[in-house]
Amino acid sequence: MQNRVSVTAAQPKALQAMLGLEQYLSGTSLSKTLKELIKIRASQINGCAYCINMHTEDALKAGETNQRIFLLSAWRESGDLFSEEERLVLKMTEEITLIHRGGLSDKTYEQALQFFEEHQIAEVVMAIITINMWNRVAITSHTPVCAV
């Protein structure tokens, strides 16, 4: 892959703004597990190897299991491995990430209202949007996966 400009290095103010979203997300009511599931699933959809690698490692460090990470891309067929709340958030992640298919559906939004208060739905939405932004920066910049 051809080396490209590091957007975040070339535009440090943009990096600061992006990190501001991360700081905001760290203070939300979303659990670390839920945030990492969002990050991994969106990164899988977007094909961002750098982010999949980083957030899989972060999830494992936070206590996530190998099995759940291995089956995350097939969460719909995984039985009760993921809670109802997690399954809903994964569905939201897919619909928002694949916005060209219509975005967050009314049906999924109505289901979200059964599990979350409006401010929590906004937190989930912002977590999904933020990882999608990072994915686009990493993919566009050809950010290499760090060897472990």
For residues 79 and 58, give the distance between their C-alpha atoms in angstroms, rounded to a whole number: 24
CA–CA separation, 55 and 40 (whole Å): 6
E strand residue ranges, the chain: none
Quick check: 44 and 98 in contact, CB under 8 A?
A: no
Whether the predicted pLDDT of 148 surpasses 80: no
Judge contact between 133 and 109, C-beta under 8 A.
no
Q: Is the pTM here over 0.85, yes or no?
A: yes
Angle between helix 12-26 and helix 118-140 axes, rounded to 10 deg: 150
Report the largest interatomic distance among the alpha carbons of the chain, rounded to a whole angstrom: 47
Q: Thinking of the domain 7-140, which architecture would CATH place it in?
A: Up-down Bundle (1.20)
Predicted pLDDT at 137: 94
Question: Confidence class of residue 7 from pLDDT cuts 50, 70 and 90?
Answer: confident
What is the model's pLDDT at position 8? 78
Per-residue pLDDT reduced to its tens digit, 8-29 = 788 889 999 999 999 999 999 9
Place of tokens 């937190």: 123
- Half-sphere exposure of residue 19, counting CA atoms within 13 Å on the CB side? 8
- Encode pLDDT of 32-58 as tens digits: 999 999 999 999 999 999 999 999 999
Closest CA to 93 of 130, 41, 19: 41
Domain locations in the chain?
7-140
Q: Does the pLDDT value for residue 104 go beyond 70?
A: yes
